[in-house]
Amino acid sequence: MKMDHNDEMSMEKMHHDHQMDMSEHDMDMGGGHMMHMGNLKRKFWVSLVLTLPIILMSPMMGIQLPFQLTFQPWSDYLVAILGTVLFVYGGQPFFSGAKAELQNKKPAMMTLISMGIGVAYVYSIYAVIANNLLNVTPAVTDFFWELATLIDIMLLGHWIEMNTVMNAGSAVDNLAKLLPSRAHKLVDGTVQDVGVDQLAHGDHLQVRAGEKIPADGVLVSGATSVNEAMVTGEARLVEKHVHDQVVGGAVNGDGTFEMQVTGTGEDGYLAQVMKLVSDAQAAKSAQENMADRVAGLLFYAALTVAIVAFIVWALVGSLAAALSIAVTVLVIACPHALGLAIPLVVARSTAIAASHGLLIRNRDAMERVKDLNYALMDKTGTLTAGNFKVAAYQSTSDQLTADQVLTIMAGLESGSSHPLAVGILAAAKAHGLTAAQASNVQQLTGVGLGGQVDGQDYQIVSAAYLDQHGLTYDHATFDELAAAGNSLSYLLAGQTVLGFVAQGDQIKPEAKHLIDSLLAQNVTPVMLTGDNQQSAQVVARQLGIQDVHASLLPEDKAKLVQHYQQAGQHVMMIGDGVNDAPSLAQADIGVAIGSGTDVAIDSADIVLVKSNPNDVVDFLALARKTTRKMSQNLWWGAGYNVITIPLAAGILAPVGFLLNPMFGAVVMSLSTIIVAINAMTLRLGK
């Protein structure tokens, strides 16, 4: 990008910061704390190996087997050593996550887990000392079995969850790839190849045919057509003349031009998009998910009940009994089932989504579907195919037939990659016509295309050119075809209009069903496009979209998303281009078309692998069913705690019932099995 040294350092810092963010976002451990996937997998397996001897040598659910008594006290000491290693090594991600949650003053899952394993470890070490060195009677029950299994289950749950949704792509990395590494800098009339990091404001550059434009700037000489599809998402070439602006990352057409760099560092178009994407992703990551909210409530509930129980039992009983009951409350509050409730549903949901052409990159997006109000979507590539097709071609002169008009235009366009040219060539082939042999074909600045066929000079021009030169053509036909969303190209010989070809971007067959489905679900569809208002309205009318915003820049789309959000609305954004990336990241739910740019895909929460708009309907249905399963599992997981925490605190002690930790462990295991079975029953259906 166009930078002086200071701006280069600024961009390097932005990129480095983003890479740090992305590396930390490999695995969400709660409270914004992230962990790398490889580390998580290794921690799980090491922790599992450490758990096996602990399970063999420590009381299971309060029951001590005969062979365990044989090796005491050495088995107790060995379990204490292994438990310490497991507590420090396997528990580290949870402690880091809890620290982040507490710093944000939002205790959630990581804090609840840390509290449970922390209390279990400290009390278990006390139990080993009390039973083997102090000979306390009655013997103090340790919780090493519960400690080890909780750490393993929590690590496994997060591993399952992240393994299903992990994607290593970086939107910022893909933005950087849009720029070439070198530029042709003009110095005293000579061309010097320099790195784009050496460019500064006011530099003059030469951009040759077919090259990527290395920086934002203004044309100072020459003319060309620029393919901005990778930047704007609009699949057509844009004519550029002197004083016109060009964007770094766009691809130059057939012409060679000179330009002056107008921006450096963070002033550049792609740098601004990069910042919009990063800011929006950071803001979205701060949102809490359902499991964290439930875990936060359980944390406060368990802590409150444990303190109250300790005080009450210290007053009516002994200090030892009060401590034992308080610890039991905190250990029972450990969210074994809660830790698997969401990951198992996510794993099942992700597998179903994949079979239906959906890639879920952010599972939190599925929870937001229930509140969805608006679906904002890009036009080109989302609702339309992005491929121009000939809708009509006619002869307007006795000199040529309609087929001859098409073959001559196909011959002139045969060397061009312009989307309109591709459409003309495809139409000729579809009608069994052979493109005419053309010679001396060249771009005509401010006109269109010119060349010779059989010694006759021809030009392909627009209606605007005909109007400017006072040439006669059928305005009624033009208005009719243009109103249908077509672009018209005219074949000209001298001052005579010989015929025309009308072609337009085709609406995807599935787009109408998508709009109808959204309306049926009380979700308002809104079209956002960088295209002109006339073309946008044509598509909107055919699809039944009432709200249309046209001629938008990338920042305009993101601002519109923010506008709806600030009004209290929940927004889904569907798009495919770099210009959609900020709005995809900003929206409550970002859905990228799979055939779109890597930048758009990496900014989105959901990717439509088959680029079928109808898959949005499947996503909404799956999301609602997934959220329902999550809620059911959370009720099962939290319901265990709701019942057992008061019992462990001794609420029924006056009638002679005090919850045994063994019974609590059995109920915990049963709850875990229930949430696993419930997750497996998730289906999308037809």
Which has the closest alpha carbon to 500: 590, 633, 378, 397? 397
Q: Encode pLDDT of 25-54 as tens digits.
A: 344 444 444 444 457 788 889 999 999 888
Q: Specify whether the CB–CB gap between 576 and 592 falls below 8 A.
A: yes
Confidence of residue 321 (pLDDT cuts 50, 70, 90): confident
Higher pLDDT, residue 19 or 400? 400
Confidence of residue 3 (pLDDT cuts 50, 70, 90): very low
Mean pLDDT of 183-196: 88
Confidence check: pLDDT of 173 > 60: no
Confidence of residue 571 (pLDDT cuts 50, 70, 90): very high
Residues 480 and 332 in one domain: no
**227 membership: H or E segment, kind and range:** strand 224-227
Confidence check: pLDDT of 300 > 50: yes
Mean pLDDT of 126-155: 80
Residues 265 and 296 in one domain: no
Residues 70 and 120 in one domain: yes
Mean pLDDT of 522-534: 81
CATH number at 523 reads 3.40.50.1000
DSSP strands (E only) in 569-675: 571-575, 589-593, 606-608
Q: How far are the Cα atoms of 68, 175, 261 from residue 249, in angstroms, in the given order? A: 69, 9, 13
d(CA 3, CA 480): 48
pLDDT at site 63: 55
pLDDT at site 431: 92
Q: How far are the Cα atoms of 16, 49, 513, 521, 522 from residue 373, in angstroms, in the given order? A: 36, 49, 18, 9, 7
- Residue 239, helix vs strand vs coil: strand
pLDDT at site 589: 92
* 19 assigned to some structural domain: no
Amino acid at 391: A
Q: Which of 14-23, 122-131, 341-350, 381-390 has the lowest mean pLDDT?
A: 14-23
Last residue of a domain, one of 507, 522, 554: 507
CA of residue 418 relative to chain centroid, distance: 31
Q: Specify whether the CB–CB gap between 674 and 337 falls below 8 A.
A: yes
Last residue of a domain, one of 491, 507, 523: 507
Q: Which of 328-342, 373-387, 520-534 has the lowest mean pLDDT?
A: 328-342
Residues 190 and 83 in one domain: no
Among 69-83, 232-246, 664-678, the range with the most confident prediction by mean pLDDT is 69-83
Residues 547 and 447 in one domain: no
Is 378 an annotated catalytic residue?
A: yes
Q: Beta strand 251-252 with 204-207: parallel, antiparallel or unpaired?
A: unpaired
Which has the closest alpha carbon to 502: 484, 522, 520? 484
Range of the domain at 515: 358-383+508-611
Higher pLDDT, residue 286 or 78? 78
Higher pLDDT, residue 599 or 10? 599
DSSP strands (E only) in 508-583: 524-528, 547-549, 571-575
d(CA 428, CA 421): 11
Mean pLDDT of 282-309: 73
CATH number at 408 reads 3.40.1110.10
CA of residue 303 relative to chain centroid, distance: 36
Confidence check: pLDDT of 587 > 60: yes
Q: Which of 24-28, 109-113, 425-429, 516-520 has the lowest mean pLDDT?
A: 24-28
Confidence of residue 73 (pLDDT cuts 50, 70, 90): low
Mean pLDDT of 603-610: 78
DSSP assignment letter at 434? P
Residue count of the chain, please give it: 686
pLDDT at site 302: 83
Q: What is the tally of structural domains in the chain? A: 4
* 22 assigned to some structural domain: no
Which has the closest alpha carbon to 207: 174, 175, 164, 247? 247
> Residue 650 is encoded by which pair of tokens?
């001794």
Q: Which of 262-266, 388-392, 489-493, 623-627 has the lowest mean pLDDT?
A: 262-266
The percentage of the chain sitting over the pLDDT mark of 70, rounded to a whole number, equals: 77
Q: Specify whether the CB–CB gap between 592 and 603 falls below 8 A.
A: yes
Mean pLDDT of 55-66: 63
Residues 52 and 135 in one domain: yes
Confidence check: pLDDT of 346 > 80: no
CA of residue 592 relative to chain centroid, distance: 8
| 606-608: strand order across its sheet | 358-360, 606-608, 589-593, 571-575, 374-378, 524-528, 547-549
Confidence check: pLDDT of 466 > 60: yes
pLDDT at site 17: 40
Confidence of residue 214 (pLDDT cuts 50, 70, 90): confident
Q: Specify whether the CB–CB gap between 312 and 321 falls below 8 A.
A: no
Mean pLDDT of 396-423: 86
* 281 assigned to some structural domain: no
Mean pLDDT of 76-104: 88
Residues 291 and 340 in one domain: yes
Residue written as token pair 């959630």? 108
Between 290-316 and 109-132, two packed helices, what is the crossing angle to 10 degrees?
40
Residues 149 and 292 in one domain: yes
Report CA torsion sign: 389, 392, 397, 402.
Answer: positive
* 467 assigned to some structural domain: yes
> Residue 188 is encoded by which pair of tokens?
């005293």
What is the number of H-type helices and E-type strands within the chain? 24, 22
CATH number at 215 reads 2.70.150.10
Confidence of residue 573 (pLDDT cuts 50, 70, 90): very high
Q: Encode pLDDT of 416-436 as tens digits.
A: 766 678 889 989 999 999 999
Confidence check: pLDDT of 450 > 50: yes
How many of the other CB atoms lie within 10 Å of CB of 241? Answer: 12
Mean pLDDT of 284-308: 74
> One of 76, 378, 615, 618 is an active-site residue; which one?
378
Q: Specify whether the CB–CB gap between 112 and 303 falls below 8 A.
A: no
The mean pLDDT value of the chain amounts to: 78
Q: Specify whether the CB–CB gap between 593 and 608 falls below 8 A.
A: yes
* 293 assigned to some structural domain: yes
* 617 assigned to some structural domain: no
Residues 496 and 514 in one domain: no
d(CA 506, CA 643): 59
Last residue of a domain, one of 241, 276, 311: 276
pLDDT at site 563: 93
Higher pLDDT, residue 26 or 389? 389
* 15 assigned to some structural domain: no
Residue written as token pair 């580390």? 39
Among 269-278, 461-470, 539-548, the range with the most confident prediction by mean pLDDT is 539-548
pLDDT at site 4: 38
Residue written as token pair 């949901």? 349
Confidence check: pLDDT of 88 > 90: yes
Confidence check: pLDDT of 506 > 80: no
Which has the closest alpha carbon to 499: 485, 488, 513? 488
Which has the closest alpha carbon to 273: 38, 79, 557, 648? 557
State the Cα angle at 181 between 175 and 185, rounded to 5°: 125
- Residue 107, helix vs strand vs coil: coil
Phi, psi of 319 (to 5 degrees): -65, -35
| 384-395: strand order across its sheet | 384-395, 496-507, 487-493, 456-461, 448-453, 438-444
Confidence check: pLDDT of 144 > 50: yes
d(CA 498, CA 458): 10
Q: Is the peptide bond before 93 cis (omega within 30 degrees of 0)?
A: no
* 14 assigned to some structural domain: no
d(CA 72, CA 534): 85
Residue written as token pair 């760099």? 261
Residues 204 and 338 in one domain: no
pLDDT at site 24: 36
Confidence of residue 285 (pLDDT cuts 50, 70, 90): very low
Residues 595 and 630 in one domain: no
Cα dihedral 121→127→133→137 (10° resolution): 170
Confidence of residue 147 (pLDDT cuts 50, 70, 90): confident
Q: Is the peptide bond before 525 cis (omega within 30 degrees of 0)?
A: no
Higher pLDDT, residue 646 or 282? 646
Residues 182 and 240 in one domain: yes
